[in-house]
Structure 1
Amino acid sequence: MGNKKSYGTQNDLNLKLVIALSRATTGLHRGASRNMKENGLTPSQFEVLEVLYHKGAMKVCEIKEKILASSGNMTVILANLEKDGYIGRIMCETDRRSFILDITEKGKEVMDRAFPLHIAYLEDTLKNLDESEKREIIRLLKKMQGLGGNDEGK
């Protein structure tokens, strides 16, 4: 015990940062997942419905881009949402080989219940951070990803 191995100051700091980020995101996802399950949704299903709920109808490739999902997993998610009556398909006018997905009334009803719970959960979970701290975290995370960081997370 007490025989802590060091990989150098910067590497040790990098490892601590990754662990802290991982613990924070894992905790956020775990809590958010509980709210989604209360409404019969998986996190991935919630993400798809959330995009359609707020952005409107779109092609599968656009949804995948918005939620950063893999195509194999997306097929199952969409099939289950359609089977449950939460989304519907509309044939694309310009490309008969593809279709557009839209949220149904049933899907809107579940999001009318689930999304306010999600917002309340985030508000409670992130209440110890003030507005400037949240903006700074967003900026730093974007900088870490090489995305600049001047945008405010939109």
Structure 2
Amino acid sequence: MNHLPDPTPQYACLPVLRELVRSYQAFSLVDEAQIRTYGLTASQFDVIATLGNTNGMTMGDLAEKTLVTKGTLTGIVDRLEAKQLVRREVPEGDRRCFKIVLTQAGESLFREVFPKHMAFLQERFDRLETSELELLRVLLARLRSAFAE
């Protein structure tokens, strides 16, 4: 048997990376399945949840506040507009841009599904102690800051 040196020496971050990815995959699987029961994709729900309780946002603001890239956002807004859940509005005094605003149907959907979905997620987070949740929040913020440029 030929024994070659391991080209990937043990990196301390590797188990953390694996757990982070596995945790996100587990979360996404459950989260997205629940969101599909509302007739939405995860990205569409993200946009509706972000626009809820606002007077609308520009595409730039919406891209910044959601987990959706600007390039993908246009298609998502187009599909939500086709479902008559959002509309594009040109603000008075600034015809260079437009705002994305929830329609009445979009606002009703937000009021119905957002609390349901948050309660659904809260049931899972309730499996952790309050102190564990706070520690997790702090550590995730520190991890994010480690990657901030």
Same fold (TM over 0.5): yes
Report the equivalent of 2:37: 38
Distance across 2 between alignment mates of 1:63 and 1:84: 19
Aligned residues: 140
Structure 1: gaps (5+ residues): 148-154
Distance across 1 between alignment mates of 2:40 and 2:122: 21
Deviations along 1:9-63, whole A, 9 cap, x unmatched? xx1x311111111111111111111121111100000000001113441111001
Report the equivalent of 2:13: 14
Report the equivalent of 1:73: 72
Q: CA deviation at 1:138?
A: 1.1
Q: In angstroms, what is the RMSD of aligned CA positions?
A: 1.7
| Paired residues for 1:5-154 under 5 Å | 7-8=9-10, 11=11, 13-146=12-145
Distance across 1 between alignment mates of 2:76 and 2:15: 34
Report the equivalent of 2:3: none
Give TM-score, length-normalised by structure 1: 0.83
Deviations along 1:52-81, whole A, 9 cap, x unmatched? 113441111001000132222111000000
Distance across 2 between alignment mates of 1:35 and 1:129: 20
Q: Secondary structure at the match of 2:39?
A: coil
Give TM-score, length-normalised by structure 2: 0.85
Q: Secondary structure at the match of 1:145?
A: helix
Residue 46 of structure 2 contacts residue 67 of structure 2 at CA under 8 Å; is this kept in 1? Answer: no
Distance across 2 between alignment mates of 1:118 and 1:27: 16
| Partner AA of 1:138 in structure 2 | R
| Partner AA of 2:111 in structure 1 | D
Structure 2: gaps (5+ residues): 1-5
